[in-house]
Structure 1
Amino acid sequence: MNTRRSSESRRLHLPITAMILNVAQSDPEQLALVGARDRLTYSGLVEDSRSMFAIVDELHRTQPLPPTPAPETDNIPITAISTTSAYDTSRIIAGLAGYRAVSATIDPRWPLNHQLGVIRTTGIGVVISDSPALAEALAASGWTGTVISLTDFRARQAAALPAPAPAVRDGNEPFLMLFSSGTTSNPKAFIKTRQQYRENVAVSSAHLGPLPGVATLAPGPVSYSLTLYAVIESLAIGGSVHLADEFDPITMGSRIAAEEITRVVAVPAVVRALAEAARRDSERFAFVDLVVTGGANLPASIRDRLGEILPAARLISYYGAAEIGFIGDSRDGDGTWIHVYPSIGAQIRDDSGAELPEGELGTLWIRAAACSYGYVTGTTEAVLRGADGWATVDDQGRVVNGMLQLAGRAGDIAITGGHKVSLPEVERAFETYDNLGEVCAIALDDPALGSIIVLVIEASTDNADNADNAGKAALLNHARARLAPQFVPRRIYRLDRLPRTVGGKVRRTETVDLIMDGQGQRL
């Protein structure tokens, strides 16, 4: 028994290319990647990667004056994929994994100037994109790389002379270039080495349920780190990953039933949609026994709803940062309190870098083997790692009885009357207010208190009448029963629509701007 467990443990922690090659030999027809219309077995993925790298390598080598890759890549050419096709993006990233190549995913929904900026600044040499606007902008900027459409790339790949088979690469070799932003500010780029991704898969496989042969559904853009992680971890563990450009309840229900999908990895908004789809037709979702979602502070209403409709399905809400990797998770309640994984170090520090006593709010610092070394030169002046090896993305939080409670990013903390107030904590208090919908807590300047806490509610068709009937007094009474006095909003506004990122997250800074411009209705 011990020998078998040891063998299985070694198998679970193989490099991604070693796992792909092993499964392609032992079970060649096992599905690796599945899209709405296309699918690749493990043996097909190996063959596909050979023709793919042949084309990518040729595109880089035939450039008269190739862009210089960022120094953090060790001079390995960078290939970027900017397409709405989750299947093709995953196919290309997985296909290049066994070769000397650095891959990057660029969200085509980013502002054009953001896309242009990261391509030029990081020295990306080949861009696979169907956007004429991006191609024109790159040409006009003097960029010397190559843009190729997905259709042309597929056609050239079909006629290519295959490259040698993929092989396991050195762990210190740069593997992926990722981006921490791209919707409201200039994206910060960072590199993940192959070893750092192997460390991340080791944490994920221990806690988040990717197992050999398991079919995982990961709907959404692969430019999201959550989806990208699901692709890499599924292939690195010998499972199958099912991709979808977006979550369509009817289509996803059919695919889950037909493919016997047991694990779903998705953002909270998709988990909510999944619960509603299962409420209408629970039989199609009967195979699902594990739902994994990213981001801390999962609304309790989502967990409760899923538990009512799919009582046999476990829901894990993990916390992590793309730069750092998986940090911990929550498996009950609203995800406010997080169990930090045993292999991860966590400290709360003040602005001077000193560790704070238990219970005090400060900046979260993490020590993790999967953490990137730093940001790519030229994309930001921010520092990821300190000299002691600990890293921070400026998340705020506190530790109580060994449990981590997050309070948002540095910009999510307001000082009012000398008190630190976590704006996400204010928002969570209103999750139990029936039919209120989305809210955003902001801080506005105040000459006496420094700032005051303000609640902004969204006047969607589902909650406008409720907000009118409740009125300011009812909303404030609800807050006073659940929050410390300094957390209770002093004003409440309503907007027709809260501003959001392309991923659906509410933009707090833009909400402040709208209120300051007089576009909100004060209750």
Structure 2
Amino acid sequence: MGLITDQYAIHAMKFPMKPAIQTVDKRIDYQEWYERVSQTANWFGSFHSANKTVAILLPNGVPFLQLFTGAAAAGWTAVPFDVKWTESEVEKRLELSKASIVISTKNRSESIRNTPVSTKVLIWEECLEEIQQQPTKKTIEPDGELPFYMGFTSGTTGNPKAFIRSHNSWVESFACNHIDFQMDEKDHVLIPGALIHSHFLYGAISTLYFGGTVYLLEKYIPSQALAWIDVKPITVIYLVPTMISSLFKTGQSIERPIKILSSGAKWEEHSKQQVRSLLPNLTLYEFYGASELSFVTVLTDQEMERKPGSVGRPCHNVKVEIRLQDSKLAKPKETGKIYVKSKMIFSGYLEPDQNTVQTEKEWMTVHDMGYLDEEGYLYIAGREKNMILYGGINIFPEEIEKVLSLHHEVEEVVVVGVNDPYWGQIVTAAVKGSATKLELQRLCKEKLASFKIPRKWVFVDEMPYTSGGKIARKQIIDLIESKVNSH
């Protein structure tokens, strides 16, 4: 099917002076972008390494995207590393990824001390000098079946697992942008989040594939993002729901048409209404997916009122099944485990001991639970690993969180199971906001069965987040258990 970078040469011929990437202080057109990526690919090709894997430890910016795409164009696998990770977190992921090279800035590289013997630490500024000596036409033509991207996701133990994506899986995903989200080369796309998060990285790479313009923030600053939306010809924004309150709290309204692609968590209705009031010509696409699965389902504006609570119908060339514990197919509205079949599924998880990829079967699950209605719309009940076992009854915390979020003085809420010697787990809520415990209990009694009402409540000033903008559920559980046990 080809590489994620195959279109750059075509764009350079078709519209050489069109901006490919715009940052606060830099504008790169497609001719320059093609030459930069080609030089970087040729530079990677000069390394005689059996393990063609590079770890990129850089902040958001053109160098990050240049190394990522250049490595991909050379047939290497790029592994984005988060600049916020501690030294031990970096070391653990270097050991897991078996990267032969790690590239970072001079300041950051000094903290990478205990690297594996087989890993070279290179300084970006020095690499750039060598890259600029390379030919500006690509001399390497790898195959689309090759891996190009390694990311990390937490396993059930909380330790990182490395997943592998092939060029073909992302190129197949790009068709969803065109068919499901109505995107093309005319789009001006704002990427306000960290490229370490696959949602934002994919947003940038897919835009460059189509020939659109990427507007890249080096750091997420809500006021700066809003200023760009106001003065730049932005047509599409990639967001996760946790960004919304900070982005639109100024109350500034923007009249022109804008499209938002949201992933990472289910948007609550009151948050959607707030955004719609500020962006009256908004087109909202809410999609369900995972790093391992890519796009699964999408819910459009028109469907949201008719199918509240749904995450939509399967995307282009995606099939979804709900399976019960005995592997039988579930009936409509019967909750089971969600399985997905498509050409966008990842290659598999890296087996660290053998340094091989554990390939997945034709149908894949990330252990989310849910059901399909009679029209094929998918509803997520929750993550299997988040499920609370209360006296032998399965409770999905996401259902309770949705109810508690209806209270206008609840800013954020997370529901978890706290260990209990008699019941197994007790439903416990962590709440950020000014709502009182009594008000929330009354709300739960109106909307939920009695056994789903939280027995314990913890009120917090701030919620911890992952680097991808999601609430760090494991940290919340630790926080709640420490508070509960101290009383």
Same fold at TM > 0.5: yes
Partner of 1:397: 370
| Aligned-pair CA distance for 1:182 | 9.5
- Aligned CA RMSD, in angstroms, stands at 2.9
Amino acid corresponding to residue 48 of structure 1 in structure 2 = R
344-353 or 259-268, which moves further after superposition?
A: 344-353
2: CA distance, partners of 1:47 / 1:479? 59
CA contact (8 A) 1:18 1:168 kept: no
CA contact (8 A) 1:384 1:391 kept: no
Partner of 1:363: 337
Which of residues 252, 263, 273 is equivalent to 1:304? 273
2: CA distance, partners of 1:14 / 1:141? 34
Partner of 2:286: 317
Which of residues 99, 113, 116 is equivalent to 2:91? 116
2: CA distance, partners of 1:364 / 1:83? 35
Partner of 2:119: 145
Which of residues 328, 343, 352 is equivalent to 1:378? 352
294-303 or 491-500, which moves further after superposition?
A: 491-500
Partner of 1:293: 262
CA contact (8 A) 1:427 1:441 kept: yes
Which of residues 407, 410, 420 is equivalent to 1:433? 407
Once the two structures are superposed, what CA deviation does each residue of 1:193-213 show, in whole Å capped at 9, x if it has no partner? 111111111122211233112
Spell out the pairing of 1:99-248 with structure 2 (5 A cutoff): 99-130=74-105, 137-138=112-113, 140-158=114-132, 160-162=133-135, 164-165=137-138, 169-181=142-154, 185-248=158-221
Amino acid corresponding to residue 463 of structure 2 in structure 1 = L
CA contact (8 A) 2:187 2:212 kept: yes
Gapped regions of structure 1 (runs ≥ 5): 1-12, 70-76
Once the two structures are superposed, what CA deviation does each residue of 1:101-156 show, in whole Å capped at 9, x if it has no partner? 22221112223323222223322112111275655545x34423222223223333
2: CA distance, partners of 1:512 / 1:249? 28
Partner of 1:479: 444
| Aligned-pair CA distance for 1:220 | 1.5
| Aligned-pair CA distance for 1:98 | 2.8
Residues 209 and 97 of structure 1: is their aligned pair in 2 closer, same or farther, counting only changes over 3 Å? farther
Amino acid corresponding to residue 442 of structure 2 in structure 1 = N
3-state SS, counterpart of residue 517 of structure 1: helix
The number of aligned residues is 481
Residues 25 and 168 of structure 1: is their aligned pair in 2 closer, same or farther, counting only changes over 3 Å? farther
Amino acid corresponding to residue 407 of structure 1 in structure 2 = A
2: CA distance, partners of 1:335 / 1:162? 53
Matched, 1:27 2:11: no
Residues 134 and 150 of structure 1: is their aligned pair in 2 closer, same or farther, counting only changes over 3 Å? closer
| Aligned-pair CA distance for 1:169 | 4.0
CA contact (8 A) 2:169 2:343 kept: yes
| Aligned-pair CA distance for 1:512 | 2.7
3-state SS, counterpart of residue 505 of structure 1: coil
| Aligned-pair CA distance for 1:324 | 1.1
Spell out the pairing of 1:413-424 with structure 2 (5 A cutoff): 413-424=387-398
Residues 339 and 384 of structure 1: is their aligned pair in 2 closer, same or farther, counting only changes over 3 Å? farther
Residues 444 and 380 of structure 1: is their aligned pair in 2 closer, same or farther, counting only changes over 3 Å? farther
477-486 or 334-343, which moves further after superposition?
A: 334-343
Residues 122 and 96 of structure 1: is their aligned pair in 2 closer, same or farther, counting only changes over 3 Å? closer
State the percentage of identical aligned residues: 23
